Amino acid sequence: MDKTKKHVAILGSTGSIGTQALDVIEANQDLFEVEVLTANSNSELLIQQALKHKPNAVVIANENKYNEVKGALGSSDIKVYAGVDSLSQVVEMDTIDVVLTALVGYSGLKPTINAIKAKKSIALANKETLVVAGSLITALAKENGVNIYPVDSEHSAIFQCLVGEFHNPIEKIYLTASGGPFRGWKKDKLISVSKQQALKHPNWDMGAKITIDSASLMNKGLEVIEAKWLFGLKEEQIDVVVHPQSIIHSIVQFEDGSMKAQMGLPDMKLPIQYALGYPQRIKSNFPRFNFVECPSLTFEKPDVETFRNLSLAYKAMSKGGNVACVLNAANEVVVEAFLKDKIGFLEMSDVIENCMEKSTFVAVPTYDDFVSTNEQGRMLANELIK
């Protein structure tokens, strides 16, 4: 094993973040080595990635695909595991230095907890982990001396602005939002939008779940809650501003009134590379932003009356306890239902709000409380959709 390189486990290697992380690693083979790759059910791409990057181990969460993956990798030395529990176990391997959690939604929680307990550095692309159980995750990270490096472009921007400023208190942060494909639209126009329209993000190329979340502003709501836990902020210290060009990725305002912004073209490889390489900035051939080609950067307030998910996220953050876990569970169900044409775009917010009101409130939740809250939130949402 080459001790001069960082050995990386990528949870969710076949998704948008995972595939781009592999591009970053491939471009910097002197710095990084792939140790573990995992996929939910995309066995075909997982096999391709494993044969190319030759990790120590792979995990396919869908146990029905185990024989296919095992058969394809049988002539190699790559260990093959299957099942959801294997995701949580594989992160404990001694040979792993950093775990990039790029799983979608609630599924990222348990593996991230196990990786923290195993004292692995975390590159966090799974914002739902902090949304669902921020109190638990931050306490565990502190207890185990584990650093969490944000991969979301907005949180990476805040983190980059804070380097060298950690002793200076934050007055406020501004998370920027593109506004999504429906920026400026009103409710009467949104009633009949299709999933095809919602999946056309103006600036970013992402997976289906996060793209729908971006269109409904739920993604920004989840990011607000994530920022609270990552940077130890109060509700009133986190603001959202719509910035359609997606060049300024977020802004920190300090107590003297000075503001720092991190800028660049919308490209997730940059925050992925920064999280994996921190504290080093690694030379890249990513496209550069040109001020002359984009002379106008504009900003506006988000329309929280039309796009209610953002205000629901603030409400969940304000109430605390397990409410954000309910918000996330209900959202995962409604997004899946919307993608299957079972629910309208605006109805998603109605279901989420209803679940938040009806679910059992737990002020100081344990891990088991989060598990049962997630189940209850999903059950309530599914009942309301029927």
Domain CATH number, residue 349? 1.10.1740.10
**What is the residue range of 247's domain?**
155-268+292-308
The pLDDT score that the predictor gives to residue 2 is 77
Whether 13 contacts 40, CB under 8 Å: no
> Which of 125, 150, 175 marks a domain boundary?
150
The pLDDT score that the predictor gives to residue 265 is 96
The pLDDT score that the predictor gives to residue 19 is 97
Shared domain check, 181 and 108: no
The pLDDT score that the predictor gives to residue 312 is 98
Shared domain check, 73 and 43: yes
Please give the share of the chain, as a percent, with pLDDT higher than 70: 100
Shared domain check, 344 and 259: no
Structure tokens at 124: 């966090």
Which residues does the chain have with pLDDT short of 70?
A: none
The pLDDT score that the predictor gives to residue 241 is 98
Shared domain check, 197 and 139: no
> Which of 150, 167, 192 marks a domain boundary?
150
Query: Into how many domains does the chain fold?
Result: 3
Shared domain check, 300 and 164: yes
- pTM of the predicted model, to two decimals? 0.95
Of 251, 231, 252, nearest in space to 243 by CA: 251
Measured CA to CA, the distance from residue 6 to residue 21 in angstroms comes to: 13
The pLDDT score that the predictor gives to residue 104 is 87
Residues 6+ apart with CB under 8 A from 230: 130, 148, 150, 155, 158, 159
Q: Judging by DSSP bridges, how do beta strands 98-101 and 79-82 pair with one another?
A: unpaired
pLDDT in tens, 53-111: 999 999 999 999 999 999 999 999 999 999 999 999 999 999 999 999 999 888 999 99
Measured CA to CA, the distance from residue 161 to residue 252 in angstroms comes to: 7
pLDDT in tens, 301-327: 999 999 999 999 999 999 999 999 999
Whether 136 contacts 369, CB under 8 Å: no
Whether 331 contacts 104, CB under 8 Å: no
Shared domain check, 326 and 386: yes
> Which of 308, 336, 363 marks a domain boundary?
308
The pLDDT score that the predictor gives to residue 204 is 77
Tell me how crowded residue 73 is: count the other CB atoms within 10 A of its CB: 19
The residue type at 47: I
Shared domain check, 69 and 12: yes
Residues 6+ apart with CB under 8 A from 45: 14, 19, 39
pLDDT in tens, 26-63: 999 999 999 999 999 999 999 999 999 999 999 999 99
Measured CA to CA, the distance from residue 223 to residue 3 in angstroms comes to: 35
Please give the share of the chain, as a percent, with pLDDT higher than 90: 95
Radius of gyration of the chain (CA): 20
Shared domain check, 63 and 27: yes
Shared domain check, 207 and 194: yes
Q: Residue 116 belongs to a domain with what CATH number? A: 3.40.50.720
Shared domain check, 142 and 172: no
The pLDDT score that the predictor gives to residue 297 is 97
Shared domain check, 298 and 166: yes
